[in-house]
Structure 1
Amino acid sequence: MTVTERPIDPLLDPDDVDRATADSTPPAGRRPNPGRRFLNKWSRSIHVYASMVALVITLFFGLTGLTLNHPDWTFGDAVDVTTESGTLGVTTTMDDGSVDFLSVSEFARDELGVSGSVDSFDLVNGEGSIVYKNPGYSADLFFDVETGTYDLTVEQQGWVAVLNDLHKGRDAGNSWSWLIDLSAGFLVVISITGLVMQFFLKRRRRSAFITAGVGAAVVVALAWWALR
């Protein structure tokens, strides 16, 4: 009778490899559990590849989490504020007398160099306003509907503030919002598969779950202390 050796998972550490080698031949009358082997194999594969896919974005959110928690870490970046006044080169009203915010906004983008998405627009006492937002950037345009004169204030923050706004998803658009959701999903998958993997590492299983329990207790204790 020929016994086929079970292939050794390269993700195991040396101690686990030795154990797996020693146990590669199941005892007589004992059949390997296919469901257990399937779960072990796929939890490892998913954990590894999900970690690789999410590597850059995980590093990004980790580093920007530090800069968010320490707002004084500007690394020498200063806020650049510029102001400008003039007269709009477009008609501010349409034929029905309503304010043509679209034409004014396109003029601001093409001629005044404004960027970002329109966050809000309004008309108060004959003065129109359009606010533009982007991560680390804001532009406020105020204009007189009758005369067409305008005042523009642009605030451009440093690269740290830009990264912090991206971390929070502030003024970053729908595509970045989807990326944040996807990143959160990857982190959940990595955490769950990491726990599942510990069930199959007999030598380290007990210490691993004790460590996880201690870590969870520390987090809960710190959260409770912060909410006092």
Structure 2
Amino acid sequence: MVSFTILLFFAVSGLTLNHADWFTSGKEVVTKDSGSVNLKWVNQADTNKLNKLQIVEFFRGKHEVKGALSDFRIDDREVSLTFNGPGYLADSFIDRETGKYELTTTRFGAVAVINDLHKGRDSGKAWSWIIDISAVLMTLVSISGIILICFIKKKRLSGFIIAAVGTLVCYLIYKLFVP
């Protein structure tokens, strides 16, 4: 049943990935916020002394920003932060002179979350393990099916013929239609 659940998830998310236009039209929600951070956090000549953790936790606490910090850039005029998660993106730009910031948060909807989980994008180490374990389970189920067909004399030949035809059809479709 675990393999069934895994197979169902990856089958459905494979369909939503392959036909994203069917499922994602108008589903994203964008919110914008602004405010100011403590000027001491961003207005220092030595950018190595900026307390990055304090800035990140400010946005997590005040605006409930989620996802992993994927980018933290500092230049002469601004500090920019990007947070990514499955179906989620948050960008913040902080003016280093004034401490004023603009935060844009985009939620792409449930289908985007499923698609990102399918690909393992922005989903963290734990989800990466789930994908790996799922792949191993599906491989074992597939191999056990091949082994079982070997022991059923009446179905063995037709089973292997069907497997070979399926493999050949997939290969031909790939060769004919994939540039």
TM-score (norm 2): 0.92
Q: Please name the residue that 1:147 is paired with.
A: 98
Q: Which residues in structure 2 correspond to 1:32-181 (within 5 Å)?
A: 52-74=1-23, 78-89=27-38, 91-93=40-42, 97-98=46-47, 99-181=50-132
Q: Which runs of 5+ in 2 are unaligned?
A: none
Shift of 1:54: 1.4
Deviation per CA, 1:30-60: give whole Å up to 9, x if none: xxxxxxxxxxxxxxxxxxxxxx331111100
Q: Please name the residue that 1:194 is paired with.
A: 145
Larger mean CA deviation between 71-80 and 193-202 belongs to 71-80
Q: Secondary structure at the match of 1:118?
A: strand
**Count of matched residue positions in the alignment of Structure 1 and Structure 2:** 177
Change (3 A) 1:88 1:140: same
Instruction: State the alpha-carbon separation in 1 of the partners of residues 45 and 9 from structure 2.
Output: 50
Instruction: State the alpha-carbon separation in 1 of the partners of residues 152 and 84 from structure 2.
Output: 50
Q: Please name the residue that 1:11 is paired with.
A: none
Instruction: State the alpha-carbon separation in 2 of the partners of residues 227 and 67 from structure 1.
Output: 20
Deviation per CA, 1:79-129: give whole Å up to 9, x if none: 101111211146314988322221111111111221111011001222001
Verify the 8 A CA contact 2:87 2:113 in the aligned structure 1: yes
Instruction: State the alpha-carbon separation in 2 of the partners of residues 124 and 169 from structure 1.
Output: 31
Instruction: State the alpha-carbon separation in 2 of the partners of residues 96 and 117 from structure 1.
Output: 27
Instruction: State the alpha-carbon separation in 1 of the partners of residues 53 and 24 from structure 2.
Output: 38
Shift of 1:141: 0.7
Deviation per CA, 1:166-203: give whole Å up to 9, x if none: 11111000000111111111111111111111111011
Amino acid at match of 2:114: L
Structure number with larger C-alpha Rg: 1
Change (3 A) 1:125 1:90: closer
Higher strand content, 1 or 2:
2
Deviation per CA, 1:124-160: give whole Å up to 9, x if none: 2220011001100000011012311101000011101
Q: Secondary structure at the match of 2:27?
A: coil
Give percent identity, aligned residues only.
Answer: 41
Instruction: State the alpha-carbon separation in 2 of the partners of residues 96 and 77 from structure 1.
Output: 43
Amino acid at match of 1:64: S
Shift of 1:225: 1.4
Amino acid at match of 1:70: H
